[in-house]
Structure 1
Amino acid sequence: MKLEGEISKNFYALFTPELNKLSELFQKYNYEMRMAGGAVRDLLMGIQPADVDFASNATPTQLKEMFEKEEIRMLHKRGEEHGTITCRINEKENFEITTLRIDVVCDGRRAEVRFTEDWKEDAFRRDLTINSLFLGLDGTVYDYTGGIKDIELHRVAFVGDPVQRIQEDYLRILRYFRFYGRIAKEPNLHESKTIEAISKNKQGLGNVSGERIWMEFKKIVVGRFAADIMDQMLKVCKLYAQLGLEENSCNLDEFRRVYEASLHHPTYSLEPMTVLSTCLADFDGVQRFHDRAKLSNAEKHLAEFIVEHRTEALKNKENIRFFQDLLMDEIFLYGFREPGSQERVILNMVELMKYIESPLQMHSEIKEWVKPEFHINGITLMNAGVKKGPTVNAIRQHLYLLWKKSGYKMSTEELLTHIDDEIPAPVKPKAPKPRKRNLT
């Protein structure tokens, strides 16, 4: 099949001077190079690909020899054991080229590979039919697995036997659901043999690293059909344990509410942890998921923040003063002084507002609010006669709460008249102490 019409125009728009030079180089040395995988799929769907990967019948050794002879710089040479060489043309553009290969030994996480010159063999070791297409630089599409028809049908299917494909790399379970969200026309048209293969082989997903799990999972929870796909993954396939979630804590109705609310507001998008917080009941749940998914500090803190405050925030969803006070409390209690940390607190606040569906204008209000400054510190108090020691922080917190109650209007002089008040026990933060560090 040859590309035609608008698709052909999009294809040739990819040809930079650097790609033309690379193509000429492969012709000179009598090697073949084709576009592979996702870029071909996207072009056939009318989507201009953001990244293009290439496959070749040249071995890594042959690629290196060719580039060395032509004095072309190579990057990331460690990839050659898996068949991938990255070159930089004209010091402008990088190209990743992978030798055709067969997965010889697979343990469900990684594979030992053997290089081949057979394009069909390489196609049949890939995960999904829609990802196993090749596109020659003359515009010819090579389809060995039925990928073109599946793109036309918006069908997501494993190449060949789904059990075999999954057992080669269990992460393909999540890749299936991610691409289903991107490709399918309807949310619940999964093929029974595919779901059965996933359900029977789900335990293998538990051996996949948390970083790889989260990389796929975070795209699923904010992608198309996310609520229906989560129902399929959790209610039907029971992937709770493999994903670091607890069945009793996963409120999928709440997940659907938060996710679908975001669809009504195209001006903003949800952070993955915002919507996934619906499946985390408390700090222990956040920690369990973090242990599995290896979240960044910012992601973990966002989940903790939502879990801690969502109940009270829901009661005050239209009360901007509640969110202003909460923002001030976060800054005062946890002392976020690192560069960018206060901005992160504001972002967390906005995500909480999205979670509970606060009016959209309040999101802008909290971002633009000019925060008042609390000028009382330990030195101020000691200069006012407070003895150095643990009472300093207790008095400072007491004065801060008085200041907040006044709408942040009491002056420093007025506040200092209260240093001899009966001081209540300091408010202790509910969240774990690590929240106060590494927030960026």
Structure 2
Amino acid sequence: MWGRVLWSRRHFLTMQLKSEAFQSLFTDGLNSVADLFGKHQFELRIAGGAVRDLLSGKRPEDVDFATTATPEQMKSMFQAAGVRMINNKGEKHGTITARVHNENFEVTTLRVDVQTDGRHAEVEFTTDWEKDAERRDLTINSMFLGLDGTLYDYFNGYEDLQKKKVRFVGSASSRIQEDYLRILRYFRFYGRVAAQPGEHDPETLEAIRASAHGLAAISGERIWVELKKMLVGNHAAHLLELVYQLELAQFMGLPADGNMGELKLVWDNAQGLSPKPMTVLAALFRSSDDVERLDLRLKISKEEKTLAIFLIKYRRDLVKGQNGDSLRPYTDFIIDSRELDAQSKVCELLKYQGEKKLLAEMKHWCVPRFPVSGHDLRKMGITSGKEIGTILQSLREVWKKSRYQMDKEELLSTVRRS
């Protein structure tokens, strides 16, 4: 995986990565971009999370790049080469997105923060890689990787990654006050990197507690993005408990009396079942009122809101059946609800309840189609809309009792006999 390992004159660790995951990044598009930056003598490196993933042996889903070129220099260079640029929203922050060989390459000029307010930062451009690394949140996210495989690690991020430690760059308090959302990013990455729950630096936790109020000024949408990722990572129950212990919940829209006992149980139940974030979080809620308050703060989607309300309503009442037909109550519910997403909601309920075997059965169960329609009854001479509705409902009950096996003729024959 690694080539040579050196200590540079500037006292940061450099090594050369030779992994297959790294080599696989070099598409025609990246090679063209790299050649262009090299031709104009601007340095280009892979930045942030992609470096962390590559060092962990993973091929990153998204790759961001950093450069010594300013946005204006990049625009001039791309225009001269006939390269299309898209999504100019990031330009004021130093980001230019180039479209090359049907791939997007997001390249950001090295920056230093000159002023921050806990939500946003005013930046100046720089050519100093270490200063850019210093403004990043966590050591494991502050590394750069040259296109020749050389790792540039100014704050011992590689060592922390090896030891599965999550640390802020420099002072935890300073980094958090630059952007209070970093509190939740710390938790999220702890769930991705740390091997065990509870191995936090006490000073980091104290800095988080002292800065808890800062989350009040962070938009609900940003908080929800980080919280969702935390909920499906490792140690989610432990991290949610920390959210309460460090008095963060009140600023995040979470219920003051969240049911941590239920959440721990659901978290244990759902291990290996890939629950949705809301499936885990719903365990905290004691009533649908808690969901309404969460929605006011975090602006969750309609689908997430209805799932939470569904789980609260049915987590005790919709349970597996007896007498060898454990799945029956769930399938009957789906048939009766007639909602397009009923089966997916029931799957999340089964994860919530830890019913691994029933979940596997439910995923392979196909919703049967009720074979009788109002048209069939009208052909038999029944014209009253009210009577047709009553008969259809009674036929549905007969059909359910047959375990959805009776066909149209069998069902209609019961109408003729009556």
TM-score, with length taken from structure 1: 0.82
Query: Which residue among 197, 200, 207 is the counterpart of 2:210?
Result: 200
CA contact (8 A) 2:111 2:124 kept: yes
**Deviation of the 1:416 alpha carbon:** 8.9
Residue in 1 that maps onto 2:370: 373
Residue in 2 that maps onto 1:281: 286
For residues 95-154 of structure 1, give each alpha carbon's deviation from its aligned partner in whole angstroms, at most 9, with x where no partner exists. 110001122222222222111122121111111111111122222222222222222222
d(CA) in 2 for partners of 1:3 and 1:311?
55
d(CA) in 1 for partners of 2:69 and 2:173?
31
The sequence identity of aligned pairs, in percent, is 42
SS across alignment from 1:108: coil
SS across alignment from 1:193: helix
Residue in 2 that maps onto 1:107: 117
For residues 182-216 of structure 1, give each alpha carbon's deviation from its aligned partner in whole angstroms, at most 9, with x where no partner exists. 11122111111111111111111122122211111
Residue in 1 that maps onto 2:96: 85
d(CA) in 2 for partners of 1:20 and 1:405?
61
CA contact (8 A) 1:330 1:345 kept: yes
Alignment of 1:400-415 (within 5 A): 402-403=397-398, 406-407=401-402, 411-412=411-412, 414=414
- The reply to whether residue 319 of structure 1 matches residue 326 of structure 2 is yes
- The reply to whether residue 351 of structure 1 matches residue 363 of structure 2 is no
d(CA) in 2 for partners of 1:396 and 1:285?
40
Alignment of 1:112-127 (within 5 A): 112-127=122-137
Residue in 2 that maps onto 1:36: 47
d(CA) in 2 for partners of 1:14 and 1:197?
38
Residue in 2 that maps onto 1:328: 335
d(CA) in 2 for partners of 1:58 and 1:362?
53
Given the superposition, is the C-alpha separation of residues 370 and 182 from structure 1 closer, same or farther in structure 2, using an over 3 Å criterion? closer
Number of equivalences: 398
For residues 138-180 of structure 1, give each alpha carbon's deviation from its aligned partner in whole angstroms, at most 9, with x where no partner exists. 2222222222222222211111111121111111111000101
Given the superposition, is the C-alpha separation of residues 312 and 139 from structure 1 closer, same or farther in structure 2, using an over 3 Å criterion? same
For residues 6-30 of structure 1, give each alpha carbon's deviation from its aligned partner in whole angstroms, at most 9, with x where no partner exists. x544333322232222222112111
d(CA) in 2 for partners of 1:240 and 1:417?
62
Residue in 2 that maps onto 1:296: 301
Residue in 1 that maps onto 2:275: 270
Letter matched to residue 277 of structure 1: A
Residue in 2 that maps onto 1:72: 83
CA contact (8 A) 1:73 1:87 kept: yes
d(CA) in 1 for partners of 2:234 and 2:64?
25
SS across alignment from 1:103: strand
d(CA) in 2 for partners of 1:133 and 1:359?
40
For residues 345-381 of structure 1, give each alpha carbon's deviation from its aligned partner in whole angstroms, at most 9, with x where no partner exists. 2111111112112351454246424424173559958
SS across alignment from 1:295: coil
For residues 302-343 of structure 1, give each alpha carbon's deviation from its aligned partner in whole angstroms, at most 9, with x where no partner exists. 112111111112464873221122112211xxxx4xxxxx2x
Given the superposition, is the C-alpha separation of residues 354 and 20 from structure 1 closer, same or farther in structure 2, using an over 3 Å criterion? same
Letter matched to residue 119 of structure 2: R
Query: Which residue among 71, 74, 83 is the counterpart of 1:60?
Result: 71
Residue in 2 that maps onto 1:427: none
Residue in 2 that maps onto 1:140: 150
CA contact (8 A) 2:133 2:143 kept: yes
- The reply to whether residue 237 of structure 1 matches residue 251 of structure 2 is no
Given the superposition, is the C-alpha separation of residues 113 and 366 from structure 1 closer, same or farther in structure 2, using an over 3 Å criterion? closer
Structure 1 unaligned segments of length 5 or more: list them: 337-341, 419-440
Given the superposition, is the C-alpha separation of residues 366 and 396 from structure 1 closer, same or farther in structure 2, using an over 3 Å criterion? farther
Given the superposition, is the C-alpha separation of residues 276 and 400 from structure 1 closer, same or farther in structure 2, using an over 3 Å criterion? farther
CA contact (8 A) 1:2 1:139 kept: no
Letter matched to residue 18 of structure 1: G
Given the superposition, is the C-alpha separation of residues 400 and 244 from structure 1 closer, same or farther in structure 2, using an over 3 Å criterion? farther
Given the superposition, is the C-alpha separation of residues 379 and 415 from structure 1 closer, same or farther in structure 2, using an over 3 Å criterion? closer
Given the superposition, is the C-alpha separation of residues 368 and 151 from structure 1 closer, same or farther in structure 2, using an over 3 Å criterion? same
SS across alignment from 1:311: coil
Given the superposition, is the C-alpha separation of residues 241 and 316 from structure 1 closer, same or farther in structure 2, using an over 3 Å criterion? farther
Given the superposition, is the C-alpha separation of residues 397 and 281 from structure 1 closer, same or farther in structure 2, using an over 3 Å criterion? farther
**Deviation of the 1:232 alpha carbon:** 1.5
After TM superposition, what 4+ stretches of structure 1 lie above 3 angstroms from structure 2? 1-5, 7-10, 314-318, 374-386, 391-410, 412-418
d(CA) in 1 for partners of 2:417 and 2:174?
75
**Deviation of the 1:34 alpha carbon:** 1.1
SS across alignment from 1:22: helix
**Deviation of the 1:52 alpha carbon:** 1.4
**Deviation of the 1:67 alpha carbon:** 0.6
SS across alignment from 2:199: coil
CA contact (8 A) 1:324 1:366 kept: no
SS across alignment from 2:105: strand
Residue in 2 that maps onto 1:210: 220
Alignment of 1:180-191 (within 5 A): 180-191=190-201
CA contact (8 A) 1:108 1:169 kept: yes
d(CA) in 2 for partners of 1:77 and 1:192?
42
d(CA) in 1 for partners of 2:33 and 2:401?
69
For residues 13-50 of structure 1, give each alpha carbon's deviation from its aligned partner in whole angstroms, at most 9, with x where no partner exists. 32223222222211211111111111112222222222
d(CA) in 1 for partners of 2:20 and 2:331?
52
Structure 2 unaligned segments of length 5 or more: list them: 1-12
Task: Pick which of 277-286 and 175-184 moved more.
Answer: 277-286
- The reply to whether residue 46 of structure 1 matches residue 57 of structure 2 is yes
**Deviation of the 1:405 alpha carbon:** 6.8
Given the superposition, is the C-alpha separation of residues 38 and 403 from structure 1 closer, same or farther in structure 2, using an over 3 Å criterion? same
Given the superposition, is the C-alpha separation of residues 397 and 82 from structure 1 closer, same or farther in structure 2, using an over 3 Å criterion? farther
